[in-house]
Amino acid sequence: MSVMQWLMILVFLATFIGLLKYQHIPERIFAGATLVCLAASFVTSADILNNAVNSGLVTLLLLVLCSFAFERTSVLRRLSALMINGSRFKSTIKTLLGAAIASAVMNNTAVVATLIGTIKKNTLINPGKLLLPLSYAAILGGTLTLVGTSTNLIVNSMWIEQGQQSLAFFDFTLIGASALVVCLFIIIIQVKNLPDMKISALQTDEYLLEAEVSNSSKLIGKTIEENGLRNLDSLFLVEVVRNGRLISPVAPDEMLQAKDKLIFTGDISKVLILQQFDGLSLYAEQDGLLRENLSEVLIKPDSAVIGKSLKTAGFRARFDAAVVAIRREGDTLSGKLGDIIIQPGDFLVLAVGPDFCSRTNLTKNFFILSGHQPDNMLSGWRDQMTVFGFILTVTVSVFTGLTLLKCLIFYIALLITTGCLTVNEIKRRFPLEIWMIVLGALTLAKAMDNSGIATLFATSFESVLQGQSTYFALIAIFIITLLITELVTNNAAAALVFPIAYNVALALDVSPLPFVMAVAFAASGSFISPYGYQTNVMVFNAGNYKVSDFIKFGIPISIAYSVVVLTMIPRVFPF
């Protein structure tokens, strides 16, 4: 090998080690790798610019932007209302299936973040029995479609960069659905082995909210449960006032009538959710929140404060809030917290100031689980247009010759025109980190190809096989990706292994598509480590789990997932 090829190997290894050591800043690692490749002339500036506007990457970015509007619709609220009622078994099935189906078309991180609150507040099933299965169901649901997880879209970006036609929306579905059915069966069997979570609700001031059912409301003649008013996120229906008579407690089968006054208690920040119910009008609302009011937030994986201490992050100046406590891996820290380094998935209890609600950087840094920031929810025709517009966008791309990218461009334009998505929100929440990761991954793959290292890896891999079957090579690529995704992250694992897998297929003179699919599914198969996938990190803290809980619960699922995927891939995508 030449000196330049050794240098390229060094860059690849340094990138991998950097991702292991600095998992919270993968975008900087890939950006550094890009600069080194450019400086060493492994790639040209034209290569980098071409990668920056790769159609698969642009599709990924547009889908992330769409999710900003979709998260504010009533879909997840309606879904959570339907989940936990009836028997424990049926509630578990509905919760896991609902999360999986929602994750097939929505950002699964947002799905899990939204449902955590509902699961923690339910009184039917201990949250410890549901939170970890919720994460796994969301991961499995993400493998059902092209847009279900960013991993699939990153693999598609790199596939397109090789001059191939974009993967179709449902190319992943048959394999993903098979894995979903088998793994959900194993999850249901194992749920009883998960530890119960100690219930310790966040103590906040309670507010009473009053809403009236109008004469023309569609809620009339239906029960509380049928209308989805029983399991609202952070709001509890405690009384109904009817013709001067007080009905309390309110039974699930209580039929609503015109002019009923519904009395809710709970988190005042969720008051705007009530506006999504037809004919339910608010006429009394308490405001003027005090500085002592508490909010519970979850640190997002791309938050600007990750890796910094509360002191160096300038937390008070940045958010007009003071940290009361931090919860991580089941521990609650209180007192002097200025030196604690913030990590993704940390739960923070904040004492918020009067300017907290007006800060434009909240959605960039937090999932707000409870507190006093009014949620900017969509309602009425905007809510319906956002949901059905997305369904129409996907349908048109599937059944016509139009690409998903072209359909998404028009959908984004419609969201902006109708005010469902604002330009300012796009500026604040533009997924720069994802863009840098994929750009770096595409550039690294191009550099490996230009330097001949990808071909060298493939040739060496082929010689190691020593005449073994192509299927054995597929298994090896799958296992390598699966191990890396548990060590780093799903997106980084897919980006690192893709160029090797693609060139191994070429060296074996077989179709690269089965190997590409193996990388995509293996990179999403993080069931053993709490750190390999964003949703795992979130439920790790929310459920006060231990690493051993993930290992014991996840190993059977990981084995079953691997067997199903490796059995299905060569049947759906022959060599």
Give CA–CA dist 69/455, Å, rounded. Answer: 43
In sequence order, the β-bridge partners of residue 262 are 211, 240
The arithmetic mean of pLDDT across residues 466-480, rounded, is 84
Please compute the mean of the pLDDT values over residues 335-350 and round it to a whole number.
68
- β-pairing, 321-328 vs 347-352, is antiparallel
**What count of Cα atoms within 13 Å lies in the side-chain half-sphere of residue 194?**
28
Mean of pLDDT values over 489-517: 87
Distances (CA, A) of 288 to 232, 318, 355, 357, 372: 23, 22, 12, 12, 10
Mean pLDDT for 137-163 is 88
Is the four-CA dihedral 177, 178, 182, 183 of positive or negative sign?
negative
Q: CA–CA separation, 151 vs 523, rounded Å?
A: 7
Helix count (H) and strand count (E) of the chain? 22, 10
Fold entry, domain 294-370: Alpha-Beta Plaits (3.30.70)
Which of 563, 481, 511, 433 lies closest to 155 in space, CA to CA?
481
State how far the Cα of 152 lies from the Cα of 491, in Å rounded to an integer.
9
pLDDT at residue 521, rounded to an integer: 95
Lowest mean pLDDT among 7-16, 83-92, 503-512, 556-565: 83-92
Residue 14 burial (10 A CB sphere; 0-12, 13-18, 19+): middle
Mean pLDDT, range 157-168, rounded to an integer: 87
Residue 73 to residues 14, 123, 207, 382: CA-CA distances in angstroms? 43, 26, 24, 8
Residues in contact with 309: Cβ distance below 8 Å, sequence separation at least 6, in sequence order: 338, 339, 340, 341, 342
- Average pLDDT value for residue range 106-134: 81
Integer CA distances (angstroms), 281 to 208, 256, 382, in order: 15, 14, 18
Q: Who's near 479: CB < 8 A, 6+ residues apart?
A: 522, 562
Task: List the single range of 170-174, 359-363, 455-459, 462-466 with lowest mean pLDDT.
Answer: 462-466
Query: Which pLDDT score, from 0 to 100, does residue 203 have?
Result: 38
Cβ neighbors of 513 (< 8 A, separation 6 or more) are: 573
**Sign of the alpha-carbon torsion through 324, 328, 333, 338:** negative
User: Helix 547-572 and helix 173-190: axis angle, to 10°?
Assistant: 150
pLDDT at position 35 is 94
User: Binning pLDDT at 50, 70 and 90, where does residue 334 land?
Assistant: very low
Range in 49-53, 71-75, 269-273, 532-536 with the lowest mean pLDDT: 269-273
SS3 of 110-165: the string is HHHHHHHHHHHHCCCCCHHHCHHHHHHHHHHHHCCCCCCCHHHHHHHHHHHHCCCC
B/e letters for 481-514, b = 16+ CB within 10 Å, e = fewer, are: bbebbbebbbbbbbbbbbbbbbbbbebbebebbb
pLDDT grade for 292, boundaries at 50, 70 and 90: very low
Q: Is the pLDDT of residue 206 over 50?
A: no
| Predicted pLDDT at 504 | 87
Q: How much is the average pLDDT of 458-481?
A: 80
What pLDDT score does 467 carry? 60
Residue 558's pLDDT is 94
What's the pLDDT score for residue 281?
A: 74
pLDDT surpassing 50 at residue 326: yes
264 vs 565, which has greater pLDDT?
A: 565
| Residue with token string 């998935």 | 345
pTM for the model = 0.70
Span 256-290, pLDDT tens digits: 999 888 877 665 556 667 777 888 876 433 333 33
Do the first three CATH levels of 207-284 and 294-370 match, i.e. the same topology? yes
Residue 17 has pLDDT above 80, yes or no: yes
- Report whether pLDDT(379) > 80: no
pLDDT of residue 176: 95
- Who contacts 362 (Cβ-Cβ below 8 Å, separation ≥6)? 319, 356, 368, 373
Helix (H, G, I), strand (E, B) or coil at 244: coil
- Domain boundary assignment for the chain: 207-284, 294-370
Give the model's pLDDT for residue 144. Answer: 93
Residue 134 and residue 539 in contact, taking contact as beta carbons nearer than 8 Å: yes
Higher pLDDT, 362 or 447: 447
**CB atoms inside a 10 Å sphere around CB 453:** 24
State the average pLDDT over residues 129-144: 92
Per-residue confidence (pLDDT) for residue 515, from 0 to 100: 95
Per-residue pLDDT tens for 512-541?
999 999 999 999 988 988 876 778 877 887
* Residue 330, pLDDT above cutoff 60: no
Percent of the chain at pLDDT above 70? 85
Cα–Cα distance, 362 to 300 (Å, whole number): 10
Residue 526 CA: distances (Å) to CA of 113, 424, 520: 18, 35, 12
> To the nearest whole number, what is the mean pLDDT of the chain?
81
Question: Which pLDDT score, from 0 to 100, does residue 328 have?
Answer: 66
Sign of the CA dihedral running 557, 559, 560, 565: positive
Residue 12 has pLDDT above 80, yes or no: yes
DSSP reduced 3-state for 285 = coil
* Amino acid at site 61: L
Beta bridge mates, 211 = 262, 282
Q: Is the peptide bond before 514 cis (omega within 30 degrees of 0)?
A: no
Say what the pLDDT of residue 560 is: 95
Residue 113's Cα: distance from chain center in Å?
Answer: 8
User: What are the pLDDT digits (tens) for 228-248?
Assistant: 887 676 677 878 888 878 787
3-state SS assignment for residue 420 = coil
Write the DSSP symbol of residue 415: H
pLDDT, greater one: 491 or 159: 159
Asked if residues 294 and 323 have their Cβ atoms less than 8 Å apart, the reply is: no
Which of 312, 122, 116, 337 is closest to 230 using CA atoms?
122
Q: Percent of the chain having pLDDT more than 90?
A: 21
Q: What is the CATH number of domain 207-284?
A: 3.30.70.1450
> Which pLDDT score, from 0 to 100, does residue 459 have?
75
Q: What are 297's strand-pairing partners?
A: 348, 368
Give residue-wise pLDDT tens across range 396-422: 988 887 888 899 999 999 999 998 888
